Structure formats: C-alpha cells, structure tokens
Copies of this chain bind each other. A is one copy, B any other.
Amino acid sequence: MTRVLLTGASGFIGRFALDHLVKRGVEVHAVSRTRITDAPHGVIWHEANLLDPTDVERVVQDARAEILLHLAWYAEPGLFWTSPLNLDWLAASIALARNFVSAGGRRVVVSGTCAEYDWQGGDCVEQTTPLAPATLYGVTKDAYRRVLEGFAAGGPFSLAWGRVFFLYGPREDARRLISSVTRGLLRGERTATTAGLQIRDLMHVDDVADALVSLGLSDVVGAVNIASGQPCRLRDAVEQIAEAVGRRDLLDLGGLPTRANEPQILTANVARLQTEVGFRPRWALSDGIRDTVEWWQSQLVGDAAAR
C-alpha cells in the first residue's frame, strides 16, 4: 500500500486532503502540531512541530513514506505575505525534503502559490508566465521550488508543484473575503466590500485538496496550476453569497476602496491540471457558495446555542 506523508494535515486544505487520501486507499501519515479530533478513520497521526529539526527527522523515520504531500506553511491571514516566518518555513521545508529523500522517499509534491507569478501576467500559464513574486511569501515559495527542482534533477525522486490560486469553503479563516462576507450577512450586519471588479479563479477547498491529492498520486512533474479554470468577478461571488443568505439589502458593494497593487486579472490556465493530471473540479461556484453559507449557518447556530 502506498504510504503518503501529509503535512499541514489540520490546516484548511489539509483536512479535506485527508478525506481524499483515505478515499484513494493509500496509507495516510498525517503531520500537524496538534491532532484533530474528527480525522477520518485509518489516518496514522504524527504530532510534530516541523520547525524543529528533531521532529522532522523523527516523523520522516516513523512514516517511511514514498510520497510527501507538503502543505504546511505559515498562513496567518494578513501577516503571511511579509512575515519573516516565511524564512523559517522555507528552511524547515528544505530540511524536510532533504530528510524525506534520504530516507527513501520517491516523490515530493508541494502546494505553491499564484503569488509566484508576475501579477501582470493575466491568465497564468505554468511554463511561460514570468515568475516575479512581489511578496516574501511568494519569494520563499518560488525559491523552494527552484531548490527542489535542482535537487530533483540529480536525485532519485520526482517533484510536482501545485500553484494554488484563490480558494474558499467551510472552515476558512473568518478574516478572509468569502468567510467574512458570509458571516457578516448571516449575522444581519451591513457588509461592505470593494467594487469587486477584479477577475479571479475561485476554487472550493474540497476541489483544491482533491486536485493536490490527484497531482500527488500521478506521475506529472513540474509546476501545475491548481484552480477551477472558471474565472469570475469577485462581485459575482459576493452577490451569490448575498443571494444564498437572502440579505442582498445588507451588501455594500464598493463601500471599501480597491487596494493598490491588486491586479485586475489573475486567473489560471488549467490545461496541465485537466489534461495531464486528468482532474476536473466537482464544485460549481454557486454550489460551493451554498455549501459555505450552510457551514457558517451551522457554526453561528452553534454559537448562539452555546450562549
């Protein structure tokens, strides 16, 4: 049975990845600092702090996995773009890959980011859109890929790199766009957003996790965009939330100024994901938004009951 070592297993994407890995019938070794209580049956858990080199060695030795699906990174909303913690995660991630390959690992698959691309790029294509990360987060992810590509070129392992675009879904941090609008409207608060004319690719986190797992279990190498391939204006997504909640009256589109340096168009060419990996997303945006609204409803009902 193929053994997969999944890092960031308690994170936003990681929790969904657990389900998909279990469904595929692989032996799942999940790593996170603290074990989640509602993990699917059969997952083998390793509690570890990946920033601690001794923990990294122990987990790699204990799991003896063939495939590393490395999703863990610093991800605090707002702060992660520029935090020096990106350097710590880069150094730790280099050590992790090095250890994993030394211990016999044969495939490394990492979640990268659309922030590696030059954001003037428009519709980003893996092999041709220039890489020009404008943030420390993008710079460190991009550097990690470069190092792993160089390492893989001379090593007995294959490397795939999933560049994740924009995602949303149940359990997302409440400070992020889709979550914060959903919560605000569900609570009956007047909710302001930018005009939302930006064109983005939004993908349900369940599809993101499924796509990364599919990439991990495939033989595809190199960078692959992880995105739905269905661009939309952010205002359309926000309006769908308002419709699902039934509170279009509370939505103040344009009440917030558009941020400087935000690209107008940032979307993904998904030919590699769909043709080479053979992945198709399961969630249409409207269904995904309803799913997210329902999850937040259940949370807010829980909150109210607890009061």
Q: Does A98 contact B (CB under 8 A)?
A: yes
Determine whether the beta carbon of B133 is less than 8 Å from that of A139. no
Near B by CB (< 8 A), chain A positions 35-68 give 53
State the oligomeric state as a number of copies: 2
A contact patch SS: helix
Cα A55 to Cα B145 with chains together (Å): 28
Cα A94 to Cα B98 with chains together (Å): 15
Q: Does A143 contact B (CB under 8 A)?
A: yes
Determine whether the beta carbon of A151 is less than 8 Å from that of B87. yes
Determine whether the beta carbon of A146 is less than 8 Å from that of B139. yes
Q: Within the complex, which residue of B53, B82, B90, B154 is in contact with A136, where a contact is CB–CB below 8 Å?
A: B154
Q: Does A88 contact B (CB under 8 A)?
A: yes
What's the nearest-Cβ distance from chain B to residue A103, in Å? 13
Determine whether the beta carbon of A147 is less than 8 Å from that of B139. yes
Q: A94-B94, A139-B147, A143-B144 are in contact. List 12 more A-B contacts (CB 8 A).
A: A84-B102, A87-B95, A90-B94, A91-B91, A91-B92, A91-B95, A135-B150, A136-B153, A138-B150, A139-B149, A140-B150, A143-B146
**Top 7 A-B pairs, shortest CB-CB distance:** A139-B150, A143-B143, A91-B91, A91-B94, A136-B150, A87-B98, A143-B147
